[in-house]
Amino acid sequence: IKKVPLFAQLSELQLQAIAQICSRKPFKSSTLLFSEKELGSDFYMVSSGSVKIYTTSGNGEEKILSIFKPGESFGELSLIDGKPRSASAKTLEDSTLVMISGTAFLELLRNHFDITLGIMQELSHRLRDTNQHVHDLTFLDARTRVIKSLIKLANKQGVRNGNTITIKLMLNFDEISQMAGVQKATLMQVIRDLEEKQILAISPSEFKLDLAKLR
């Protein structure tokens, strides 16, 4: 938990006290951690691996809202407002998560203003991100939305080597098109075009992007 930015301001003693109320658990890839609409019980921090947060339509289509990597946390909303989970959470790879029960989490917020402020900053960041997404869906054309989504994935999960960024492919093309808010056919068309221009190279397990050319 030392590596979780939310707890960055805490002393060693305080961290030890928090460690006492945490449990650490490994999960296999594609494990459903919780579903939208169920009551929230725990707060989660990613120790290793990654988790997707998504919402599902009546006919089973998914829209990914966010992906959380090591050091990031989720599951606070339903604990704070007492309402059901606002989205579902599933591991994207084998992952280890650190969990705190809802009551212990609320107790932490009451006792440590720095943690409360950290949560407020994180919620502000997510609201800004959501506003940006609404803006993009409203004002940008489909091709630009795909390119922005690729840049977002590169920033979030990419490993940089000079101008080339390698992104390990944990999302399939359906998920990437839903993230960008475009039809899969549009995504494939943009990808083919980027391949022809040698901006993007795809292998079964990864994307290689020339970020400077893409921008």
Among 22, 65, 169, 214, binds ligand CMP (CB under 6 A): 65
Joined together, the tokens standing for residue 5 give 């930015």
Q: Is 130 near ligand CMP (CB under 6 A)?
A: yes
Output 116 or 164, the one with its CB closest to ligand CMP: 116
Q: Is 76 near ligand CMP (CB under 6 A)?
A: yes
Q: Which amino acid is at 109?
A: L
Output 53 or 200, the one with its CB closest to ligand CMP: 53
Query: Which conformational region is residue 198 in: left (phi greater than 0), alpha (psi within -120 to 50 degrees), or beta?
Result: left
Q: Is 207 near ligand CMP (CB under 6 A)?
A: no
Output 38 or 195, the one with its CB closest to ligand CMP: 38
Output 41 or 189, the one with its CB closest to ligand CMP: 41
Residues 147-206 interacting with ligand CMP (rule: CB under 6 A): none
Q: Is 90 near ligand CMP (CB under 6 A)?
A: no
Output 21 or 77, the one with its CB closest to ligand CMP: 77
Task: Specify the stretch interacting with ligand CMP by CB under 6 A; choose among 16-24, 86-94, 99-107, 137-145.
Answer: 86-94
Binding residues (CB under 6 A) for ligand CMP: these are 40, 53, 65-66, 74-78, 85-87, 89, 126, 130
